[in-house]
Structure 1
Amino acid sequence: MEARLPYDDYPVVFLPPYESPPAWVPPHERLYHPDYNNELTQFLPRTVVLKKPPGAQLGFNIRGGKASQLGIFISKVIPDSDAHRAGLQEGDQVLSVNDVDFQDIEHSKAVEILKTAREITMRVRYFPYSKCLSSPNLI
């Protein structure tokens, strides 16, 4: 029989505020229904390349990390920054940076990698429920 952790040992996860779900659209009506989004490519992983001059910031904040068990996410993108122009958006999950896996990385290590690199190749995917994460850092 599997031993269970005491209730107090589970991590605390803060959920986003409740949002009313969209109206139900029957499956046979979804393809051409104006209120149903059939475009799922926005959730596919994509690559973003950024170059950072010495002393400059990349123009985005990150949240999350290994302690939250939710990964690293973009929590804010500064308008008109290089990150904004490259296509980063709030809610992107950072999958990797310069071939370093970011799906199970400490927050501080992620910040260190992003701040010290001069050229950054990020693999990201849009995941819009990342607003529940804490500890933002401007990169």
Structure 2
Amino acid sequence: MDQKIPYDDYQLPVVFLPSYENPPAWIPPQERVHHPDYNNELTQFLPRTIVLKKPPGAQLGFNIRGGKASQLGIFISKVVPDSDAHRAGLQEGDQVLSVNDVDFQDIEHSRAVEILKTAREILMRVRFFPYNYQRQKERTVH
């Protein structure tokens, strides 16, 4: 008899924990360098610069989500295959740090869209941040 207790009947404070996930298998340090399940390559997470030129009326080749309301920043949510953005190395899960020297880490979504749509040349600083991107997807509808 596993009955669920209504939320209002819980003693306060209520803390719901995420479901348990088994930790990855432990790999001895001397075996990690060449082990296929252990990746020491962290350069994919370093900030990088993306340069895009957008002719009048052209599409950006990517979508964004998030903004100030989510407190996690602006993220690339979609990159059109074979677009200039795709060829420049933009990928889903990239956090947009700045565009043309405008800080995007604490910007309203609508303001970010306006900046991206009106610019003819876009100089973006991004970093791949899949953990916060996943949290972003769970929090927002943009």
Give the alignment's Cα RMSD to 1 decimal: 1.9
TM-score, length of structure 1 as denominator length: 0.79
Structure 1 residue 131 corresponds to structure 2 residue 134:
yes
Structure 1 equivalent of residue 84 of structure 2: 82
Structure 2 equivalent of residue 64 of structure 1: 66
Q: Bigger relative contact order, structure 1 or 2, given CA contacts below 8 A and separation 6+?
A: 1
Cα distance in 2 for residues equivalent to 1:116 and 1:49: 15
Structure 2 equivalent of residue 41 of structure 1: 43
Dislocated runs of 4+, deviation >2 Å: 17-29, 131-136
Cα distance in 2 for residues equivalent to 1:38 and 1:61: 30
Instruction: Give the superposition deviation at 1:30.
Output: 1.6
**Higher gyration radius (CA):** 2
Unaligned 5+ runs, structure 1: 1-16
TM-score, length of structure 2 as denominator length: 0.77
Q: Deviations over 1:52-111 (max 9, x none)?
A: 000111110101100000000001101001100000000000000000000000110000
Structure 1 equivalent of residue 14 of structure 2: none
* Residues 118/22 of structure 1: CA separation in 2 closer, same or farther (3 Å cut): farther
Cα distance in 2 for residues equivalent to 1:19 and 1:59: 36
Unaligned 5+ runs, structure 2: 1-18
In the alignment, is the contact (CA less than 8 A) between 1:52 and 1:58 conserved in 2?
Answer: yes
